[in-house]
Structure 1
Amino acid sequence: MTTTRPPTPSRRTLLRAMAALPATALVLGEVPGLLGTAVAAAPPSGSATRYTIVPFLNSDDGTVNVYTSDDATDFRLVQASAYTPPSNRIRDASIFKHTNGYYYITYTTHTWQDTSTTIGFARSSDRVNWTFLYDYTVPIANLSRAWAPEWFVDSDGSVNVIVSCSTADDEWIFTPYLLRATNSALTAWSSPVALSGIGANHIDTFIVRIGSTYHAFTKNETTKYIEYGTASSLTGPYTISRTGNWAGWGSYREGPALVQLDNGGWRLFFDGYGDGTYYCSDSYDTFASWSAPAALPAVSGTARHFTVIKETVSGGPTLAKGVTRSFQSANYPTRYWQTQSSLLNLPVVSGSSTTAEKQAATFSVVAGLADANGYSFRDASGNYLRHYDFRARFDAGDGTTTFAQDATFVARTGTSSGALRFESYNYPGHYLRHYGYQLRVERTDGTDLFRSDSSFVPVTAWG
C-alpha cells in the first residue's frame, strides 16, 4: 500500500514562515488562528498544548458546552451547559483570551428565525465558569440580523469583531462588518465598517493574518461553499481568489475557523450542517491545498459552529532525553515495545526473557529530528522509530525532511498515572497505538479504548 502524504514543509520553510508572523502572534492567546504560536513547535517538556472550543449544541441553542483537546482532534467535555445567557439564545460563540487574563466569548443572541440586532458578550477567568457582560446593539440602519461575530486581534494589539449583518431590505443577504474596540474593557466599539471586496451575500467570515497579508475564509450564501480571499488591509479590499469546491470540502459548509498546529500546519474547522458532521482539514502551503476533510470524533453531530483558542499551559507530560527507557503498555502491563525484524511490536517481556529480548525492548530517547521539543527513539543498532504506511518500524536515518518528520513524535498525556501518548508529528491526531500487539500510527477515534491502546508508561530500561 502506498500512503499519500500531506504536503510537508522543510524546516527552513517553516522558519521563514514563523519569522513572518506579526509581533502579537508571539503573545499567548492574542490572535485567533495564531493563538499560542510564538513559534510553531511541540510544547516543551512539562508543558502542554491546550485547545478550547465553546460550541452551542445541535440539540440546544440556549447554552454552550466547553470542550478541550491537546491535539486539535480529540475534544473532550470539560463542562456541560457551562454558560446560559440570562435571556435569548447563544449561537456561533467565538472565544479569545485578552491581555487582562480573561477569556471572552461573543455570540449570536437569537435563533435563526428571529430578528437579531444584538451580539452578546461574556467572560471567564478559567474558560469554564462564565459571566454575562452585555448585549450590544450593532449600529447599522435598518438592521435585521447580526450573526456569527468572530474575534480578531491585529498586530497593533487592537481587538476587533467581524460580524455578519443583513438589513430589513433583504434579511438573508449578509455582509461582513468590522467593529473595533475603543476601550480595553471591550465595552465600547467603533462604527461598523464593511469589509471591502468580500461584499454582500457572505457570512461567517474568519480572518487570520500572516506577515502583512490578511487571509479571509467566508461562506458564500448562494453556493454554500467556503471561499478564500486576501488583502493587505484588515478592512480590504479583499480579492476572492478561490470559489466553488476549490479545496474539496464540499458544499453546505459554514463557520470556518483556523488554528495553527504544533507542526506549523494550519487546521480549518467547519460545520458540515448539510450532513450533520463537523469537519477539519489541514494545509501546509499557506492555504493553497488542503487534506481531505475528516470528521471530528466525539463532538461531530453534537457541536455546532465554534472557534478555537490555542494555548501552551504548564503541567504537561515530561520525559527525559538522552536516556534509555522501555515502554510498557498502559492497558497490557506485561507487554512492552520491542523491535522484531525491524518492526515495533508489543510482546510480553519479563525477568525471564533473554538478554537479546530485553535489549530489543530498550530504546534511547532523543530530541525529535524534526522538532527538538518532540521525541525520537533509537534502537540498539541506531535505527530510528518511524512510521511507514502507518506501520511503526525502525530504519536508518536518510537525512530527508520526510524521514525526520516520520520519526518525530509529540508527547501527550496518557490515560493513567505516568503514561504518555505519542502523536505523529506530520500526521496530527494520529498516535502510536497497539492493535493485535503490533504498533501502528492511527487517527484517534475519540474512544476510551483508543486512548488506552495508545498509552505507554516509560519505565527503567530492560537492557
Structure 2
Amino acid sequence: MTAQPPATPARRTLLRALAALPASALVLAETPGLLGTALAAAPPSGSATRYTIVPFLNSTDGTVNVYQSDDATDFRLLKSSAYTPPSNRIRDASIIRHTDGYYYITYTTHTWQDPSTTIGFARSADRVNWTFLYDYPVPIANLSRAWAPEFFVDSDGSVNVIVSCSTRNDEWIFTPYLLRAANSALTGWTSPVALPGLGANRIDTFLVRTGSTYHAFTKNETTKYIEYATAPNLTGPYTVSRTGNWAGWGSYREGQALVQLDNGAWRMFFDGYGDGSYYYSDSYDTFATWSAPTPLPGISGTARHFTVVKETVAGGPSLARNTTRSFQSANYPTRYWQQQSALLNLPVVTASSTTAEKQAATFAVVPGLADSNAYSFRDTSGNYLRHYDFRARFDANSGTSTFARDATFIARAGATSGSLRFESYNYPGYYLRHYGYQLRVERSNGTDLFRQDSSFVPVGAWG
C-alpha cells in the first residue's frame, strides 16, 4: 500500500483565488522569460509544457543548478553545478530564451556582504551547458551594489533588465533601475533609468505585462513585504496600490518571480528567507487575490531566488481523444480505474471479471470541457469524471463553468514508460492519485511514490 497522503482541506473553502475564470475569459498576456504572446492553454497532444529554473543554492552562491518541470510544481534536477562563473559569485539568476535560440541568464556577481557594481551574463544552447559572456559594470555614479537583475521582455521584443542599485552614501537603500538592450546580441545596454513611482528602498522588482498595463511586484525593504504597483508604460510612472500583507504571503519574502500557468492562472514564486522555505502562490483574477503560500515540493530549502522560462516543446504525452480506453495503475498493474457507485476506485480487473465490471472500467476520452487541449472522461452512462471535495467521482454535466473545470485534466508524462499523469485543470499541482485503492485529487509532494501513485497507462478498453 501507499504512504499516507498529505492532508487536504475542504474543497469549497480552499484558496479563495481558485474561483477561476472560465476558459473564454483567460487574458492574453506576455509571459516573462518567453518571447512573444500566446493564449494560456494546455499543451496540444504530443507536446509538453516545460518550465526551467536556474537557482543558486542555499548551501552556496558559487554555482547554480538547473531544474525543469512540466507543471511548475514538481521540479526535477536536470544538472547540478551546471554553471560556475570564472570568478566572483552567482546569485539571483534570471533566465530568458532569446530570439537567437539561446538561453541567457543575468545574475548578481558578489555575495551580499561585498560591494557589487557589476551584473553577470551567460548563455546556453541547451540549458545545461553554459558559457560565461561578461560582467557588465552598471554605470551609476558612486554605485555600491547592483543586485537581483531581472529580465523583462516587452511585447515589442525589446529585452530589458530591472536591477536594484544602491550608492555608497547609503549602501543598503536600493532603487530599481531599468536597462534596455542596445543590440540583439545583448552585449550593450542603455543608461540606467530609475523607475518613477517605485522610489527608494525597494528591491527584487519583477515586471509582467497584461494588455497595456505593466505590473510591478517589488519588495519593500523597510516593511519586508512584497508590494504591488501598476503603470501605463514600462518606464512608469508606477502607482503602488497594495502594501503590507495585502496578499497573505507574510513578511520576510523576496526574490519574487511570476509565470502564467497552462490554465491561465498566474503563479508567483518567492523566497521565504525568514523561515528557510521557498513558496508559490496563484492568482486567477489578475493579481487581486492569491492562494495561500505553499512550500515548493522537492526543492524548498535547497533552491534560492530564481525566475522561470516557460516553453511548449515537442515529445510530450499523447492520448487520442474521442476514443474508448481503460486506465491501468502504473505501480499496481492488476488494478484499473473503475466507476463504483458514482465514485472512481482502483479494483483488480481481469479477463474473468464480469461484463458489468469490465464496462465500469471503460471510459470515453474526450476533449476537455474547459480546454479542448486537455481531457475529460465519461463513463458508459455519459457522466463525467470530476473532483468534488477532492474525491474523484462521476456526475452529469451541469453545464456550469465550475463543473467544466472540475471535469478537465491536463495530461503530463507519467513515472513509467507509456504512463500519464492527470493534473486538475483548476487546481494546478493537484493530480488524480490513488490511495487505499480510491482515486482522489491531491497536491503533488514531489516524491517518487506520489509520481507512481498518480501514473496510469491507457490501454485497450475492457468493455
TM range (shorter): over 0.9
In 2, Cα distance between equivalents of 1:73 and 1:35: 22
1:42-53 alignment runs, 5 A limit = 42-53=42-53
AA matched with 1:3: R
In 2, Cα distance between equivalents of 1:10 and 1:37: 20
Contact 1:51 1:311 in 2 (8 A): yes
Give 1:50 shift: 0.2
SS state of the match for residue 449, structure 1?
helix
Structure 1 residues 36 and 383, CA gap change in structure 2 (3 angstroms): farther
Contact 1:36 1:312 in 2 (8 A): no
Matched, 1:3 2:12: yes
Give 1:170 shift: 0.4
Report the counterpart of residue 429 of structure 1 in structure 2: 429
SS state of the match for residue 403, structure 2?
helix
1:40-439 alignment runs, 5 A limit = 40-439=40-439
Give 1:36 shift: 7.4
In 1, Cα distance between equivalents of 2:308 and 2:133: 21
Matched, 1:12 2:12: no
In 2, Cα distance between equivalents of 1:147 and 1:10: 39
Unaligned runs of 5+ in 2: 1-9
Give 1:12 shift: 3.1
AA matched with 2:333: P
In 2, Cα distance between equivalents of 1:209 and 1:37: 11
What's the Cα RMSD here? 1.0
In 2, Cα distance between equivalents of 1:434 and 1:392: 10
In 2, Cα distance between equivalents of 1:90 and 1:250: 27
AA matched with 1:140: I
Give 1:33 shift: 6.0
SS state of the match for residue 3, structure 1?
helix
In 1, Cα distance between equivalents of 2:34 and 2:85: 28
Give 1:2 shift: 5.2
Structure 1 residues 37 and 387, CA gap change in structure 2 (3 angstroms): farther
Give 1:388 shift: 0.2
Report the counterpart of residue 28 of structure 1 in structure 2: none
SS state of the match for residue 42, structure 1?
coil
In 1, Cα distance between equivalents of 2:281 and 2:240: 20
SS state of the match for residue 106, structure 2?
strand
Provide TM-score, normalisation by structure 1: 0.96
Unaligned runs of 5+ in 1: 26-30
SS state of the match for residue 269, structure 1?
strand
In 2, Cα distance between equivalents of 1:75 and 1:2: 25
Give 1:35 shift: 6.1
In 2, Cα distance between equivalents of 1:37 and 1:272: 30
SS state of the match for residue 404, structure 1?
helix
Contact 1:37 1:260 in 2 (8 A): no
Structure 1 residues 162 and 230, CA gap change in structure 2 (3 angstroms): same
Give 1:11 shift: 2.7
Q: For CA contacts below 8 A with separation 6 or more, give which structure has more relative contact order.
A: 2
Structure 1 residues 108 and 424, CA gap change in structure 2 (3 angstroms): same
AA matched with 1:9: L
SS state of the match for residue 358, structure 2?
helix
SS state of the match for residue 24, structure 2?
helix
AA matched with 2:340: Q
SS state of the match for residue 230, structure 1?
strand
Structure 1 residues 453 and 201, CA gap change in structure 2 (3 angstroms): same
In 2, Cα distance between equivalents of 1:35 and 1:439: 39
Contact 1:36 1:311 in 2 (8 A): no
Question: Aligned residues, how many?
Answer: 451
Structure 1 residues 273 and 43, CA gap change in structure 2 (3 angstroms): same
Contact 1:92 1:108 in 2 (8 A): yes
